[in-house]
Amino acid sequence: MKTEGASAKAKRRAGERATEEVEDGFVVGLGTGSTTAYAIEAIGEAVADGLKVQGIPTSFQSRQLALEVGIPLTTLDAVETVDLAIDGADQVVDDPDSSAYGALIKGGGAAHTREKLVDSAAERFVVVADPSKLADRLERSVPLEVLPDAHTVVEDRVRDLGGEPTLRDAEHKDGPVVTDNGNLVLDCEFGAIDDPAELAGRLSSVPGVVEHGLFVDLADATYVGTDDGCEVRE
Ligand code: 5RP
C-alpha cells in the first residue's frame, strides 16, 4: 500500500483546512499545484454534499481537476465578485518583523500569470503551504512568463538587474515549457531578495515580460500544514 509522506500530509492538511473558508454561494479562485489540489478535491466533496459554489480555475491542470470532482466553473468576466482564492506558493516570507511578511514566489507550475489575475481579484486570498515553503527572505528563483520572441531580450534585461535567467525546459521531452497562454518561462536567480516590491516593479517594467512570480501584498493569510494540524498566519 502506498503511504502518504510527511510533506504530502502537510499539504493535504493545509488544503483541507483552507477549504473551511468556502461558504455557500461563493465564487472561488482555484489555484494550481499539488497543495491546492487537496483544496479542490475537498471543495468537490462539499459540492457533492450540497454546497453551491462556482470555481475559477487558474490553469488547465486545476480546470481538469475541478471538472473531475464536480465543481461548476465560471470565468472572471462572468462574475461581479471573487469571494475567495486558494492557491499554493513556492516560497513565503514568514518573518512577522520583515517588511516583506507574506510576500510570495509563485510560478513553479508556470501558472503564475493567471494565478495573479485571479488571486488579486479575490476579496480574500489565502495561501496553502507545507513548512518547507516558509523562509525569512525570498531567495528562490523568480519565474517570468515571457513572450516567445522576447526571451533573449528579457534575459539581457534580467542580467542588467543582477539576475541569472534560465529558460525552463520541459521534463521528458525536448524543448522549453510552454505556458497555458503559449508563452515561455525564465527562472531568474537573484539570490536573497531584500526588497521584493522593488524588484517586482523593475520586472514589471521590462517589455516582453507578461508576468513575474513575485506576489507582494496580495495574500491575506497563509495556512501551513504541520505534522499534526494546520497553523494559520494572518
Ligand atoms: C504554480 C504555483 C504553485 O502554487 C506552486 O508551485 C506550489 O506548488 P505545490 O503546491 O505543488 O508545491 O505557483 O504556478
Residue 200, by phi and psi: left (phi above 0), alpha (psi -120 to 50) or beta?
Answer: alpha
Query: What is the reported pLDDT for 105?
Result: 98
Question: What is residue 151's predicted lDDT score, i.e. its pLDDT?
Answer: 97
Q: Which residues of 49-61 are buried (b: 16+ CB within 10 A; e: fewer)?
A: eebebbbbbbbeb
Task: Out of 7, 9, 12, 35, give the residue to mutate to test ligand 1, the one with the largest number of ligand atoms within 8 Å of its CB.
Answer: 35
Nearest CA to ligand 1 atom 1: 109
pTM of the complete model: 0.96
Three cell numbers written together for 123: 476579496
Mutate which of 9, 11, 36, 212 for ligand 1 pocket (most atoms within 8 A of beta carbon): 36
Q: What is the ipTM of this complex?
A: 0.99
C-alpha cell at 44: 468537490
Active-site choice (115, 145, 155, 211): 115
Q: Give the pLDDT confidence score for residue 173 in this predicted structure.
A: 78
**What is the pLDDT at residue 2?**
56
Among candidate residues 197, 106, 203, 192, the one with its CA nearest the CA of residue 157: 203
Residue (of 214, 211, 207) closest to 154 by Cα position? 207
pLDDT of the residue at 1: 53
Using alpha carbons, select from 212, 200, 219, 202 the residue that is nearest to residue 134. Answer: 219
Kindly state the DSSP code that residue 38 receives in the 8-state scheme: H
β-pairing, 209-212 vs 142-146, is antiparallel
pLDDT of residue 67: 98
Residue 115 is a catalytic residue: yes
* Ligand 1 center from residue 174 Cα (angstroms): 23
The reported pLDDT for the residue numbered 59 is 98
N-term to C-term CA, the chain: 37
**Distance of CA 114 from the midpoint of ligand 1 (Å):** 13
Question: Reduced to 3 states, what is the DSSP secondary structure of residue 10?
Answer: helix
What does the pLDDT profile of the chain (234 residues) look like in tens digits? 557 787 999 999 999 999 999 999 999 999 999 999 999 999 999 999 999 999 999 999 999 999 999 999 999 999 999 999 999 999 999 999 999 999 999 999 999 999 999 999 999 999 999 999 999 999 999 999 999 999 999 999 999 999 999 999 987 778 999 999 999 999 999 999 999 999 999 999 999 999 999 999 999 999 999 988 999 998
